[in-house]
Amino acid sequence: MNLVYRRMMLGVTLAVALVLAGGARAEGTNPVPYYDDFEGYAAGTALTNITGWSSPEGVIAFVTNIGDNKAVDFNAGNDGITNTFAPNTNSQVFYLDMMMKMNLEDQELSKFDADPSIHMAFFANSSNEYCVYNWDNVNDTNRISAITNLTAVSQEWTRVTVTLDSDETGNPFVRDYFQVQINGVAGISADGMSAPASGSSSPGSWFVVANKDSWLEYVSSVALLGEGLVDDMGLTTNAPTFGLTISASIDPSDASWGSMNPTGKVILPYGPPTNFMIVASNYFYIAEIRTNYALVAGIPADLTTTNFTWDMDVGGTIKAVFHPLLAAYDVPHWWLAAQHPDWTNNFDFHATNNPDGDPDQTYIEYWTSTHPTNADSFFEIVDYGLKNGTSYFTVVCQSVDPALGPFNVQKSTNLMLDSMVRWVLATNPAGFGRVNGSNTWTEGSAASGGTPVFYRAVVTNVPSAP
């Protein structure tokens, strides 16, 4: 990859070159900050037809599907494909950030020296070294320098970030510098220096730009040469965040069901696997773990705690899904424990018991949202009649699980019909309430005279006996 302060070059295969421009340089096309994730292009799209991208060889780059992502597939040759940028002189520092999958191939210095507008180039050689095209202050010439602390791997996705620390005085004898980071780790080279003249404290080696006597104010273009894949390319004046960006969440978002640490938007380092501590609260369990929306296989039944290790090579999402532990008739353990502290010794027994002696067993009281230790609280219509010409009735709830949703309503005009056909679902409105306290359903239209209508509240989806 070659970088040029008026122009950057990437490639070989793949090399990148960066070109830097002064006041006399022609304006490019795309504004800075610039970003393209290449997701908006269909497979087979010729990138040279996209605004800002061009090539003397015509159609040599296209967008192709790579798994669930889209990336740019290059066969760019020696002339490359170039993306040009409009002037941006509001910042002294620029960042080129992208994902690359390269072959390993040696490059001759003459290849880059042939174009004096190139101010930085980057590639990976056959000795598994990342290399940069830069200026040799001692010998007063351009050179290619190897980065010694990082190992290049052929055909492996790599995040490449180039930081340019430029001079804004217009003085061609004041140096401009750059640094290369691979997967967030700054490259180190014997040819580099510890910091540029501007006093940047970033770790790793800094290099003087090649063809250093140009007047450099901004990045005018980035060129990609050779063969390889590029994705998520950005040129900005704000420092990128190094590491894998993870969105970690729990479902439901109610922290009383369980927790995961870390959670939220998390920036994690590249390299070793990352651990996520997932803990279900009392009376809940870890039902699912999903990474990038795919279900993780092998989660044990009723798992309550795990230190889940995710060996990531890309960012994405992780979600822990919690469900309540259930007793007979799918009564949640947490609900039984909330009714009486002694009921945790045998959940199934207490779910089917009737401690208050009213008409309903405890599991029915759960499904109807009444209280299992209050004999006056059971599923019944406590008030009904006509109000302003419309029918209404009321039920009272005392111990609601919000997950159950509203009651349904059925009505009939003939109770002598077979029980399977005499009741129909009321749809005006279709259901009502289920909050602690009074819940009233009111018919949406006025009652018609002459024909009696009967109503009843209905709880649906009650499980059968275990």
Helix%, strand%, coil% for the chain, nearest 5:
10, 45, 45
pLDDT of residue 164: 84
CA distances from 426 to 391, 394, 438, 445 (A): 12, 15, 20, 12
- Summarize the confidence of residues 455-463 as an average pLDDT: 84
Least confident of 13-27, 359-373, 392-406: 13-27
pLDDT number for residue 59: 58
Which tens digits make up the pLDDT trace of 221-277? 888 887 788 888 888 888 887 667 788 999 998 889 999 999 887 777 666 678 899
Residue 58 has pLDDT above 60, yes or no: yes
Q: What is the pLDDT of residue 419?
A: 61
CA distances, 437 to each of 208, 354, 397 (Å): 75, 22, 5
pLDDT confidence band for 451 (50 / 70 / 90): confident
Ranges 204-208, 283-287, 347-351, 422-426: which has the least confidence: 422-426
What residues contact 460, with CB distance under 8 A and at least 6 apart? 408
Most confident range (mean pLDDT) of 41-50, 383-392, 408-417 is: 383-392
**Residue among 213, 125, 200, 112 nearest 164 (CA):** 200
The model's pLDDT over 129-147, given as tens digits with 9 standing for 90+, comes to 999 999 998 999 999 999 9
Confidence at residue 253, expressed as pLDDT on a 0 to 100 scale: 86
429: preceding bond cis by omega (within 30 degrees): yes
CB 352 within 8 A of CB 310: no
Q: Where are the alpha helices (DSSP H) in 126-198?
A: none
Report percent pLDDT > 90 for the chain: 35
- Are β-strands 218-225 and 6-11 bridged in parallel, bridged antiparallel, or unpaired? parallel
Structure confidence at residue 22 (pLDDT):
43
Q: What is the overall mean pLDDT for the chain?
A: 82
Strand-pair category, 177-182 with 284-291: unpaired
- pLDDT tens per residue, range 342-377: 999 999 999 999 999 999 999 999 999 999 999 999
Whether residue 162 has pLDDT greater than 50: yes
Query: Is the pLDDT assigned to residue 7 strictly greater than 80?
Result: no
55 contacts: CB under 8 Å, gap ≥ 6: 48, 61, 76, 79, 80, 81, 82
The answer to whether the CB of 53 falls within 8 A of the CB of 141 is: no
Spell out the residues 6+ positions from residue 108 whose beta carbon is closer than 8 angstroms to its own. none
Higher pLDDT, 11 or 117: 117
The per-residue pLDDT for 364 is 94
Write the Ramachandran bin of 49: left for phi over 0, alpha for psi from -120 to 50, otherwise beta. alpha
pLDDT bin (cut points 50, 70, 90) of residue 10 is very low
Q: At residue 172, does pLDDT exceed 60?
A: no
Cα 337 to Cα 341: distance, rounded to the nearest angstrom: 5
Kindly indicate the confidence band of residue 12, based on its pLDDT and cuts at 50, 70 and 90.
very low
Q: What percentage of the chain exceeds 70 in pLDDT?
A: 82
The CATH class that applies to domain 6-236 reads mainly beta
What sign has the CA pseudo-torsion 191, 197, 203, 209? negative
What is the model's pLDDT at position 264? 87
pLDDT at 332: 96
Q: Which two tokens stand for residue 97?
A: 């950030």
Per-residue model confidence (pLDDT) at position 421 = 63
In this predicted structure, what is the pLDDT of residue 281? 96
Cβ-in-10-Å burial (0-12, 13-18, 19+) of 361 comes to middle
Tell me: cis bond preceding 355? Omega within 30 of 0 counts: no
CB atoms within 10 A of CB 156: 11
Q: What is the pLDDT of residue 313?
A: 67
CA-based radius of gyration for the chain: 34
Q: Which of 235, 237, 211, 240 is nearest to 52 (CA)?
A: 235
Closest CA to 155 of 216, 102, 226, 209: 102
- What number is the average pLDDT over the span 161-168? 76
pTM above 0.95, yes or no: no
- Average pLDDT estimate for 148-162: 89
Q: Are 229 and 11 in contact (CB under 8 A)?
A: no
Tokens of 207: 């290099």
| Average pLDDT value for residue range 179-195 | 87
Count CA within 13 A, CB hemisphere, residue 407: 30
Which whole number is the average pLDDT over 318-340?
95
Q: Give pLDDT, residue 170.
A: 47
Q: Where are the domains of the chain?
A: 6-236, 244-324, 333-458
End-to-end CA distance of the chain: 66
